[in-house]
A and B are shown apart, each in its own frame.
Chain A
Amino acid sequence: MVVPDSSAPIASFQQVWKRFGDIVAARDLNLDVRSGEFLSFLGPSGCGKTTMLRMIAGFEQPSEGDVYLHGNRVNGVPAHKRRVNMVFQHYALFPHLNIARNVAYGLKQAKPKLAQNVIDERVDEALNLVQLDGYQQRRIWELSGGQQQRVALARALVNKPEVLLLDEPLAALDRKLRREMQIELQNLQRNLGITFVLVTHDQEEALSMSDRVCIMREGEIVQVGSPRELYDNPLNRYVADFVGKSNFFDGVVESTDQGRQAVKLDNGQSLDVDLSATGKPLASGHPVTLSVRPEQIVLARDRARLPDDAAIVIETEVRNRIFLGEHTEYLLHDDAFGEFLALAPRQAEANEMPFEVDERIYVSWSRTAALLLDNTT
């Protein structure tokens, strides 16, 4: 046995490739899963996120490269010999067993054998953890989807896995229940200190629960980072588009001057963008995409009310207005910029009355608000 080192990654991919026939599901992946973190794989279906999860579980073996669990190379080690457990997409609960026996299933496989009273105790504990006390003797089909989800969670957690894998666990639940389970999963993860690895195509889910998010595309890892890092410093348009809403305008770099870059957009407009602390200056002529988050756009009826440091001021027409409670979302239109979104917080609206559809208003954003995304990555 290797003595666990808390600073070492609990799971690790090193130059991992996975092929299914001609299809490449994983392309030279390198990733460390840190002990005790909540990590999400985010991407559209077919991006390889589930394959990664299944390689940690042991259902798939890498075609090339190595997978490590707790510092041990586990290529070829079957799933039943790995101390990781999975919550399956449609739960995969055993229909012929009651709730208690479903939860006890993993404990019953333990060697040396656990005493029945120990098993019972731990099953009760696990069911208590997911708030299903007293459901021991119930049958699977007597439970709602949300309750089945909790049983699946208890069945995995009762084994005290080193890593808990969750394969789109909330996809089958309705919106309200999903929100509740997200909070519960987060609490469980913090209280138990178990590493959670989640697969999802739902960006809101990934961003709200995870410590780190790994964004994938076509078998490759595009960017790994905390939700805030990904939101504030997306590597490219793909990430910016996947993480939250944004407006994109294509253009090229005109010149660079002391951390400020002049950009000429394809629509003929020119504007300045300040480089963020982490941003690298791009050479003149470099193709870029300007990303402006809707909430970064300032709206005003009166041009004079706009901030002085605006990178650009656009006179636009309000095309549509959606009331979202805390915010109001405006769909704006300008001949040069096309349609784009702006989000006005409620407090800001208190000063100026809500804008009406068809009204002409002024909008702007600051030089620090817009992000320059390298179009070659």
Chain B
Amino acid sequence: MNEEKEDSTYEVPIGPIHPALKEPFLIKFKLDGEEVVGADPHPGMNHRGIEFMGMHRNPMKVIPLSERICGICSIVHQHMYTTAAEHAVGIEPTNRARYIRAIMCELERIHSHVLWAGVAAHEIGFDTHLHFTWKIREEVMDLLEYITGNRVNYSMWTIGGVRRDITEDMHPKIFETLEYYEDLYEKLEEIFLNDPSIKMRTKDIGILTEEDALSLCGVGPTVRASGVKKDVRIDQPYSAYGDLDMDYVVPSRYGYEDKGDVFSKTLVRLKEVLQSISIIKQCVEKMPEGEITSEDNKAGLLNKLKNMGGEGIGRIEAPRGEAIHYVRLKEGEEDIDVWKVRASTYNNLATYGPMFMGEQIADIPIIAASIDPCIGCMDRAEITDVNTGETRTYSEEELHELSVQKTEELVDGGIE
């Protein structure tokens, strides 16, 4: 970097508080005028020491704790933790439980992706779309409540299976909800993929090349949008996914370019909603009869976990991408010996670097949202002039306003 350029760079911390839904999170941006020349994420506002807490509890007590790692992907962490514990001591869940687990995972994927679409629309100033997507999201929340008894945090998982059955009398309600989404799907696609003004704000913005996606170990829709075929459900099928018919969702499969911009990420997420619907249908059809858990005796199970050592891995495809838990139990010890939790956003943090490079301040919100960060947060931006040391603070509203303004300007500029 030459001297002139260095003089004109600014640093912009964004975060860590946001009024809408996301967790506290801070990103420091280096700016050269309008252009972003560096992004440095600072997580940790939400660090609760989950692994430390888990390592001081017995394996059964960790099940509800694992569910509360994240409220949007509560199923994901429970699933990984129980799978890892099962692997460690060699317990096999029943096949019926595997199918129920897969159905629940896909229902969660639908609600997570629909939620994301709303947030993305909000970031570029389309609040009607935010309200529309949140309205249709309520349908799947109703179904989840119908099956599990709660809207969020379902307490469905246990080591060896699940705690609630999906019986035949629940099928009509499940199909009804799936049909609702199928009917609406065209409209969703029309809004997010064909609307000219949304296209202008999402195309060619926040590009992640296939090369970067691979070398930075990115996961989930974030890298699939760049054409990288990574999907744990297909690569290393867990639960019931090995029995099902599915393929990698990459833009080129639908006749689009594997570009890795925000548009491709939107496309992948929307197509995955469709994929989830098909998976749930297959699961309901193929679900075998039988017990829902292989470990009925909870006291016996705890005893077993206490007396058997071993290490295990639980690795699944969360709505945001691959996530992994590692559990080690020590023979004769009550508490878990080691518990490592790795969520999807953890790996995707590194992809922020190339994605923000060369973009404008007004595009920061939508790019930050494009990886669907579980800890994404656009609250206030502080701009420090390196020369004078002056600090200017953008509030979240101002930043949002900038983003909305850009949309308006583009629309005024004329859509063909």
Partners in one complex: no
Using CB atoms and an 8 Å cutoff, list the residues of chain A in contact with chain B. Answer: none
Interface residues in chain B, defined as those with a beta carbon under 8 Å from any beta carbon in chain A = none
